[in-house]
Structure 1
Amino acid sequence: MKEEFMAHLACPCGNSLSNGCDGDETEYYFVEHGVIEAHQDDFAFFELEYNDLSTEIWKCDVCDRMMFFDGPSARVSRYMRRIDTESLGKDELAREHKSGICFNNLLFNEVDWFVGSKHESNGGPDYEILDNPGEPDRGLLFTCRMMEERIFSHENGRFRNWWYADLHDDLIVFYSPLKDGNSGDRDAAPVKAWRRYSQVWRSEE
């Protein structure tokens, strides 16, 4: 798992969330397709989150809420509850939104294992999953271009912890990574969705 400062967050359901677990399904990131295309070779794909090029999301493993951090502030800016995808209409899905990729931290573990196993089995390049500028002998960066070619293409098998996603102001919708085309394919059926709601804490009532 990536090295980072351990953080904690209280979910409205009462659960205490932390990003300090190796099996981390707490932190998710949404990255627009346009950002991926604009930064094909700039730096490692998993560095996008450290360059303010992605939206950080925390998901509660008890109630399935999503909590969004739309800016550098430590405060949650949006709360969303899980909803039935069958409740979504075509007109609602067609409203203005951003299309991209959403993944959780377990994808980092998958890619790290994949790159390491390729290096050990056939002597392939020892790619750097995160940029380490202080290390003079660091290997090639595993860039956005490489993620598209080797992970999102499925040529090397199923990577489980990412989805095509559409992010609206009041909605986030996941589509299967195995579907044909990309998230612009309006014939694809959503597999998961969360809708924004107004969170009121008791101290604010």
Structure 2
Amino acid sequence: MARLTREQSQARTKEKLLASAYEVMARYGYAGASIERIAEEAGYSKGAFYSNFANKEDIFLQLLAGNAGGDVVQLTELLGKHDDPMGLIDVLAAWANDRGDDRRWGMLAIELLRMAQHDHTLGDRHVKLFRDQWEGVGKILIDKLNLVLQPPASPFYIGGIVLELTYGGISSFLKDGASGDMVRVVLREMYRSSRAATPAARATA
């Protein structure tokens, strides 16, 4: 077996720490997850942690960034195969159910943002993380469904609606499949409303 290069070893260490952070935070919540516990469960020292991350908030923001970016990439590939609008919406609804079943992402994101707001540390890095994800998903849907938007609707809003229904806290209190059902209802109505748009509205969209 070939010996890992220093860069490969560092990448593997970082990957294991990220995986450990997700499991520890999912188990104990963001506030209850300590750097010591994250490092220990990954099999490393605190020194290894600080060689890769500035603090606990940094590792969690990197976790969220990976999840958010992964959603955009996954949906681009998944929805790119479908041209039938209703079929595409059904595929997206199934994706929302699958993602929404793991409710830890949404709850952890809410907890982090609330703490950042409380501690007055909420900044551009937090906002950009979600803005990029929401706009990316919104652009995919507008393009694939050929939606005609009327202000204040925007890619940011369209993507935000879908992802909030998928990950939002309310889904934690509803029956399984509720996330997908809500996404299906909203997007079907968006599509039908867009198809009913007047020629003038389409010309100015």
Normalised to the residue count of structure 1, the TM-score between the two structures is 0.25
Larger Rg: 2
Q: Structure 1 or 2: larger helix share? A: 2
Normalised to the residue count of structure 2, the TM-score between the two structures is 0.25
Q: Structure 1 or 2: larger strand share? A: 1
